[in-house]
A and B are shown apart, each in its own frame.
Chain A
């Protein structure tokens, strides 16, 4: 039986759901919408698990499906490609989208645009699946742009709020910068390889001796930096938290922002030949991880802490890719998707129960009010801090160890990554402690545990967060086997052996525990005032952290203001003088000339008759004297 067609079904199902919700949106109440969207999501999970099982049985031999040929030469085909990598992503996306939709049914209830939310949500799932299942760069680009669009729609979902509309614009525009690079990369790929097809490109002999491979990689990287919120294009992600929290969980934490990571792993056969590309990736990844972790320490908004944490974790994935540890990158992607979705949904539950209060300083002591939520978020916090045996430990440790094993300058990178891991544990500890443990300042009597539709998804994700790490441990290389076929051209950095690995693991666990302990000491035990400690430049550091070392302001000053004044000058000089002048001049000219022409309309019948006769006769005369006419 030809099972390739099911790939199409996996992609099309969310799209059809979205279209159906769009068409019948006005007729559906919340219950019907739930029924449709949840069942579609269940079917989607079933289908993608089935397909994953199928390729699992086929030892992850890739499946190809050509939908139709768009253009014969150079051959442009709408095609899909399912291998271990896209299989993992497919299952991850459809599974998480099911859980998060379950959560959304409760979180979004009584919203005016309830159906619209699920419409956009399903549309996002469709675009993301299109992206990961694409068989060539062009289809990937379609998915890439569509996730940008649906992300924009969901960020500015409550567009009545000015800040939400602005955040949507910011995300879209910053993503456009990245997409611009991606598009140029695509053109160069077509020019260089004469095809978009992944397999054809990776098997091409041109790949190892390219004139401008570095340039292609750098342009594609720009796209990845934009989508995955890496320095310098990261400032849209914290603002994107204006969207509904479940959407943030799926899009801005678990799936869409990892598209850049996915894309880089997909092009790893090209990437491995570009020394500069790898260095740029690891450099920017490391810088982003540190900056974002630093910024997260002093954020006050419950979601913004998580947003910076996401940026920081994405930085970790880029570090892994730069170090050639592609499996570790995907592994961290998967575990991060689970624990970050868990943290976001937990934050969503807290926000929901706090009646849309998002400042963590106004919370505190919620552990007793919301035991399930606090336990699950605790699991997420421990996982992201790298405490064994939770998910984050395995993946983060693998990244750190892989970086270490490359040696040379990578020892320095390893040390900085360890610092970032330590900071991660610190700010996540602060986050959880401030929300759930610290003595509350405000009266929180009317706060209760979240409804079951919210806590159940949290529990599901919590269970996954505990156990998902075991898919790829030093003792059991599960994910590595899944990705083996995808990466079989690629030289993957492997983990060090034996004692080194153990020491590295102990160091990273130590970093995690130290971070958490420090957070406890500072924010609960209040060590600073207890011992009357004086930290030099404490307020300066705090400001620096709060304002994300002023990158936003710098960008505003240089790009936004500069562009604004430049465009105003263009508007006045070029647009106003030249283009408007030209357009107005033409219209004035026609106005005047038609005025003059209208004087011929005397309104006198007899003069019309004369002109009519005169010119008819002239016509006859011309007709007579022209050659070839029998007179």
Chain B
């Protein structure tokens, strides 16, 4: 029972947060909805035995990334809310079409197979524990090359952000 509760409550919070993200009018509310989703996800991660990932999720997402978001919201101010009227021709039609197909697919799958997910791989007996030492042991041996490449990506992204934010004197005079 605790297991189900431990899944169901965070799951509900996740969906609630996500809906807030999508539907709230005020950007600060959206950001708070995102924080709700991300924190609840961290709980789900713990139930999945991924404790270190949950920790990083809290630190990086709920901490750093969200701070960045809020920082930008602060910088550009609370934007005027979206016009409720759709400005792109045919956009609403296409969105409803997409949603209909999505629902159709879900219904199709449910009608064909019921609610049973017949996963291709059977569940493993091996229970892993996502501790830092285990993750580090794998990441710095067999995954070391992608790790290095991703570090380059980070540096490039940082430089790009700098270049975008920096106000070049020349471009000022041109404007």
Contact = CB atoms under 8 A, between A and B. Distances in A.
B105 A621 contact: yes
A610 B112 contact: no
B97 A614 contact: yes
A604 B88 contact: yes
A606 B88 CA distance: 9
A607 B91 CA distance: 7
A624 B101 CA distance: 13
Nearest to B95: A610
B101 A618 contact: yes
Nearest to A611: B94
A58 interface: no
Contacts of A607: 88, 91, 94
A611 B97 CA distance: 10
B118 A617 contact: no
Interface in B81-97: 88, 91, 94-95, 97
A631 interface: yes
A630 interface: yes
B113 interface: yes
A303 to B, nearest CB: 72
Interface string B40-68: 00000000000000000000000000000
Nearest to B109: A631
B108 interface: yes
A602 B88 contact: yes
B98 interface: yes
Contacts of A620: 105
A630 B120 contact: yes
Contacts of B104: 621
Given A617-B98, A617-B101, A624 B88 contact: no
Interface in A236-291: none
Given A624-B108, A624-B109, A630-B118, A617 B102 contact: yes
A324 B94 CA distance: 93
B98 to A, nearest CB: 5
A625 B94 CA distance: 22
Interface string B88-132: 100100110110011011001100110000101000000000000
Nearest to B94: A610
A630 B113 CA distance: 10
A576 interface: no
A530 to B, nearest CB: 98
Interface residues of B, number: 16
Given A620-B105, A624-B109, A606 B91 contact: yes
A53 interface: no
Contacts of A478: none
A546 B141 CA distance: 94
Contacts, number: 36
B138 to A, nearest CB: 31
Contacts of B91: 606-607, 610
Contacts of A625: 108
A630 to B, nearest CB: 7
The size class of the interface chain A forms with chain B is: 10 to 19
Nearest to B118: A630
A412 interface: no
Contacts of B112: 631
A630 B120 CA distance: 9
A581 interface: no
A585 interface: no
Contacts of A621: 101, 104-105, 108
Nearest to A623: B105
A602 B101 CA distance: 23
Which has the most chain A C-beta neighbours within 10 Å: B94, B98, B108? B98
A614 B102 CA distance: 9
Interface in A147-197: none
B98 A613 contact: yes
Contacts of B88: 602, 604, 606-607
A502 B102 CA distance: 114
B94 A617 contact: no
A624 B105 CA distance: 8
Contacts of A617: 98, 101-102, 105
A618 B98 CA distance: 9
Contacts of B113: 631
A210 to B, nearest CB: 75
A631 B104 CA distance: 14
Contacts of A614: 94, 97-98, 101
Contact of B98 (A610, A624, A631): A610
B115 to A, nearest CB: 13
Contacts of B105: 617, 620-621, 624
Contacts of B108: 621, 624-625
Interface in B130-152: none
A631 B88 CA distance: 36
A630 B116 CA distance: 13
Contacts of A624: 105, 108-109
A610 B101 CA distance: 12
A630 B119 CA distance: 10
Contacts of B94: 607, 610-611, 614
Nearest to B101: A617
B89 to A, nearest CB: 9
Contacts of B118: 630
Contacts of B120: 630
B99 to A, nearest CB: 9
A47 B20 CA distance: 98
Interface in A549-608: 602, 604, 606-607
A243 B109 CA distance: 87
Nearest to B112: A631
A604 B88 CA distance: 8
A604 B91 CA distance: 11
B68 to A, nearest CB: 21
10 contacts: A607-B91, A610-B94, A613-B98, A614-B101, A617-B102, A621-B101, A621-B108, A624-B109, A630-B118, A631-B112
A-B interface, 3 closest residue pairs, ranked by CB to CB distance from nearest:
A617-B101, A610-B94, A614-B98
Interface of B: 88, 91, 94-95, 97-98, 101-102, 104-105, 108-109, 112-113, 118, 120
Interface of A: 602, 604, 606-607, 610-611, 613-614, 617-618, 620-621, 624-625, 630-631
Given A613-B98, A614-B97, A625-B108, 20 more contacts: A602-B88, A607-B88, A607-B91, A607-B94, A610-B91, A610-B94, A610-B95, A611-B94, A614-B101, A617-B102, A617-B105, A620-B105, A621-B105, A621-B108, A624-B108, A624-B109, A630-B118, A630-B120, A631-B109, A631-B112
